[in-house]
Structure 1
Amino acid sequence: MTTPPSANPVRVFLVDDHALFRAGVKAELADLADDRIAVVGEAGSVGEAVVRIASDQPDVVLLDVHMPDGGGRAVLEQTHARYPGVVFLALSVSDAAEDVIAVIRAGARGYVTKTISGRELADAVVRVAAGDAVFSPRLAGFVLDAFSDRHVPAGVSDPELDLLSPREREVLKLLARGYAYKEIAAQLFISIKTVETHVSSVLRKTQKSNRYELSRWASDRRLV
């Protein structure tokens, strides 16, 4: 069933220093957004973005994090407070915790990586425009870790957590952030079989039955 056209499509502005990438994003959104989205402008530098955002007043800015002249954080610092009606969604190749936390602290409403599909990106744009916060699955843990009020007071022991070895904790953190076994193995320079062994041990020690229960358990203890 075709989605009916929106009377007020989300007005999107693209900020990225690669013209070919901007062209690809525009084409993807035009093909997949079902008239929910209209790309109203673009910029390839921080200075151009600041001027054009002021003049175009988009609903959502898709924002590259790393650009030669300062990147997404610089754009946010110069525009976010001045235009509170504009929502910023970071779109980056980086999945580094420091990048995610920096742009969220600067005012971005979400952060997705450039591995996202066109359909998922269109949905993310519509969601942030409606007030949701949107993150690629493995990045949500960084934000929880930086902004959550939940914490274990210093010096207080967690008997269940104390059962896990340091390596098991490392595997659990990556698992809870959405990494596949192959990716965990590459990150920790161990074999996939070793990852499977560690996960089995963590499941047994925590008495959980699957990775989703483990993710919630890890989040409760601020491991992700």
Structure 2
Amino acid sequence: MIRVLLVDDQSLVRAGFRTILETEDGITVVGEAENGQVAIDRALELSPDVICMDVQMPVMDGLAATAQIVRRGLGSAVLMLTTFDRDDFLFDALAAGAGGFLLKTAEAEQLIDAVTALAHGDGLLSPEVTRRVIERSVSTPAASAAPAPELDLLTDREREVLQQLATGLTNAEIAGRLYLGEATVKTHVSNVLGKLGIRDRTHAVIWAYENGVVRVGDNPGQPAPPPASGGRIRPHG
């Protein structure tokens, strides 16, 4: 059961989100909070899997609350929800450690999918948001700098998984492309995040573009050739 904490200063919005999420088997709303400070207290008390966090709230906004929740290592994934499609909200949310960013104008199914994705360790950014993140990432000085030394910590297979991960593929899709078991891919993803010191898959995408693992115009998401009998898949690049 995916445990969700709803954080919004408008009770009607929280009620709407609760109704949407609890129509889905496997999701339960364990608590609500009307501002960021209360959200931190509820997160400590309830240990939710996912926190649906509004950006603009009194007392403490969602960005500050997210940063504190991530810094305390509570283990809850934060899905940032906002009415305003603003770049400063998006990039500040990612910098604070949010694992996903969704507009409140999204369809009910998109909210359910986002909560489910974050609960399973995936990041969630809409395609248009991902494009803006990539454009910002590749325009930074780090994008043209020498390869990050952390890359040397990765095995060839882990680098390959990171390339696939950077295109936004799920574990199941990566497994299909690389002819691996899904559990094996999950292990590789965990190793990549741990070795690079990255919080989640969303930030792995940003890191990969900033450090030249993939570049705009690359297509690392193309399937690898199937291995010959008893053979080993040759890593890309």
Distance 1:69 1:220, change over 3 A: farther
Q: 3-state DSSP class of the match of 2:22?
A: helix
Corresponding residue to 2:93 among 94, 103, 116: 103
Q: 3-state DSSP class of the match of 2:122?
A: coil
In 1: Cα distance, 2:83 partner to 2:140 partner: 30
State the TM-score, normalizing by the size of structure 1. Answer: 0.60
In 2: Cα distance, 1:150 partner to 1:69 partner: 33
Q: 3-state DSSP class of the match of 1:95?
A: coil
Question: Deviations along 1:98-157, whole A, 9 cap, x unmatched?
Answer: 11000101100010100111111111111111111111332112221233489886xxxx
Q: 3-state DSSP class of the match of 2:79?
A: strand
Listed as ranges, the gaps of 5+ residues in structure 2 are 145-214, 219-237
Contact 2:50/2:77 (<8 A) preserved: yes
Q: Quote the offset at 1:83 in angstroms.
A: 2.7
Structure 2 match to 1:46: 36
Structure 2 match to 1:72: 62
Does 2:115 match 1:125? yes
Contact 1:65/1:99 (<8 A) preserved: yes
Number of positions where the alignment pairs a residue of Structure 1 with one of Structure 2: 148
Contact 2:4/2:28 (<8 A) preserved: yes
Structure 1 match to 2:128: 138
Structure 2 match to 1:14: 6
RMSD over equivalenced CA pairs, Å: 2.4
Corresponding residue to 1:30 among 22, 30, 53: 22
Residue type at the aligned position of 1:25: F
Structure 2 match to 1:56: 46
- Percent identity among equivalent residues? 35
Q: Quote the offset at 1:47 in angstroms.
A: 1.5
Listed as ranges, the gaps of 5+ residues in structure 1 are 1-8, 154-217
Question: Deviations along 1:2-55, whole A, 9 cap, x unmatched?
Answer: xxxxxxx11000111000000000001112x2x121110110012111111110
Distance 1:11 1:148, change over 3 A: farther
Question: Deviations along 1:135-193, whole A, 9 cap, x unmatched?
Answer: 1332112221233489886xxxxxxxxxxxxxxxxxxxxxxxxxxxxxxxxxxxxxxxx
Q: 3-state DSSP class of the match of 1:80?
A: helix
Distance 1:95 1:55, change over 3 A: same
Structure with higher Rg: it is 1
Does 2:64 match 1:83? no
Corresponding residue to 2:103 among 107, 113, 131: 113
Q: Quote the offset at 1:58 in angstroms.
A: 0.3
